[in-house]
Amino acid sequence: MTMTTLKQDLRYISRFGLGAGLRAARLRARHGAIVRLRVPGIAHPLWARARTSDVETFDEVFVAGEYNLPFTDLAPRHVLDLGANVGYASVYFAARWPDARILAVEPSRQNLALLEMNIRPWRRIAALPAAVWSHPAQLEIANPDAPANAYRMTKAAAGGRDGIAAYTVGQLLDRHGCDRLGLLKMDVEGAEAGILREPAGWLDRVEVLLIELHDRLVPGCSQALCGALRGRRFRQEIVGRNLAIDLR
């Protein structure tokens, strides 16, 4: 065992307790092996692919607390998880707000398979195999060899039959069946730049926006967010890699 893995195991034990912490060490199993995890406070088991980006995503959500919003008065009835990956954020939200209806939107078929496993016991989470974009389109993954938490989308090749349906945020709100959205989580690897540059009337329907910006991938993401928020009253907190923007 290396010093790095020992530190990681001790971090799990410190966060989850001895038993659950040692079980989380299964994340160091054979690369790609599907492992079963238990997290205190999460009613149902979780699943992860060992030694993949699932480990990083699991740590962000359940160890570092990157979705632990500071707005204690927030009790969303509807949550939209854009870039849901394998569903950890959706499960975290479902555990925190049991009455919320959650729509988890994810374009990758491989991620969706594990997402379905993770959300199956949670009756108020639904998965949608799709992407979010600035306008309705057919997309494909631009970097299929990237880690599974870093897929970027691009327009599908002309005539391609395997395109991924992409919807606007407004269309997804309508599909979710809500006029007012309590929480919108957006982690879409740079697609936020184009989404936010378009007229963002959908922000009028959102109470809290939780967004990770990717200027390192697509320059202008922060600028696009500032433009979309111009003229609006809001308060903002930094939560890990995310900006939590209260628009109420």
pLDDT, mean over the chain: 93
Domains assigned to the chain: 1-54 (no CATH), 65-246 (3.40.50.150)
- Whether the full predicted model's pTM is greater than 0.75, yes or no, is yes
The larger pLDDT score, comparing residue 6 to residue 56, is at 56
Assess whether pLDDT exceeds 90 at residue 157. no
* pLDDT for position 186: 98
Question: For residue 226, what are the contacts with CB-CB under 8 A and spacing of at least 6?
Answer: none
Mean pLDDT for the stretch of residues 109-123: 98
Tens-digit pLDDT profile for residues 47-99: 999 999 999 999 999 999 999 999 999 999 999 999 999 999 999 999 999 99
What does the DSSP assignment read for 134-163? SSSEEEEES-TTS-TT---EEEPPTT-S-P
Q: Among residues of the chain, what percentage have pLDDT more than 90?
A: 84
Model confidence over 200-226: pLDDT tens digits?
Answer: 899 999 999 999 999 999 999 999 999
